[in-house]
Structure 1
């Protein structure tokens, strides 16, 4: 094949291929995308159950942990309710715990007992506080108990460690 025929063949094929490739159909949306739902204010925390046995013998509160990467928060929501029992959120250089707890609250983990001061339903711990590690590495559960008898006995799951690590 001589040069003139080769240039003619390839010289015509390349523009034809580019024209065919540029004819891709662009889908048009059938309907406009739905508007995002308005964000509701956080519901009030649920009242705390009163414990009847020691924290290691009590059943773990029924519910599940949920992690929100956008707000860097882990929330424990009881089964059948939308109101969280406990929220752990990264807030600046610390982790803010929010619940219906008030006053000096006993934190019980497999590593021992500590105190956390809840003012107005929340407490903030520095991100490197060893109490956070005790919660994350407790064997299966941890408990928060108020002097008035209310208590939370919650399962230890990966969401807790994730919010702690995100805040560090």
Structure 2
């Protein structure tokens, strides 16, 4: 004897088995991450300084010419009290002193459109410490400074380079010392 199941029984059994499966697990929703603040905009980096001194901007300031008891002087800076560079004539010795504010290495290099010269320098103590180079008034390099095409550079290792306009005051002090 064979036992035959009605066709509805296997379908019903299948549905009953499917009902035994539990409901899917529900997880708590993950919190939405807080939005990160946008990074502050960074200022654009300044353009690199030109490598050649002739292409750099001149140092801020003006030349002033003065006569005193010892000779004449050309001062460069924002004002006479805060000069960055001084060219002084000592008429008695016919010597030109070039003073760069700040004390650094024992050499001063001047660059002109004619080339570069490096002179020995020494520290000068005073109300404003400075580095000084002294030259004879007839030194041809002084003419190169005075007649440089528009500007000249003063370099003293350890101090920022000065790019100075070659104005008439420079030549005037040199000529005062030669007269």
TM-score, normalised to structure 1's length? Answer: 0.64
Shift of the 84–73 alpha-carbon distance from structure 1 to 2, 3 Å rule, reads: same
1:72 and 2:75 correspond = no
Unaligned ranges ≥5, structure 2: 1-47, 124-130
Unaligned ranges ≥5, structure 1: 1-50
Paired residues of 1:88 and 1:96 also in contact (CA < 8 A): yes
Residues 106-144 of structure 1 deviation map (CA, whole Å, 9 limit, x = unaligned): 211000111022200111100000110010000000001
Which of 115, 136, 150 is 1:126 aligned to?
136
Aligned length: 117
Shift of the 95–112 alpha-carbon distance from structure 1 to 2, 3 Å rule, reads: same
1:137 and 2:147 correspond = yes
CA distance in 2, matches of 1:117, 1:84: 21
Q: Partner residue of 1:96?
A: 97
Q: Partner residue of 1:115?
A: 118
Paired residues of 2:77 and 2:84 also in contact (CA < 8 A): yes
Shift of the 57–89 alpha-carbon distance from structure 1 to 2, 3 Å rule, reads: same
Residues 47-81 of structure 1 deviation map (CA, whole Å, 9 limit, x = unaligned): xxxx94321111001111000022410100136x8
Paired residues of 1:101 and 1:118 also in contact (CA < 8 A): no
Residues 62-101 of structure 1 deviation map (CA, whole Å, 9 limit, x = unaligned): 111000022410100136x831001111122110111125
Moved over 3 A (4+): none
CA distance in 2, matches of 1:59, 1:101: 23
Shift of the 101–109 alpha-carbon distance from structure 1 to 2, 3 Å rule, reads: farther
Shift of the 66–122 alpha-carbon distance from structure 1 to 2, 3 Å rule, reads: same
Shift of the 52–147 alpha-carbon distance from structure 1 to 2, 3 Å rule, reads: farther
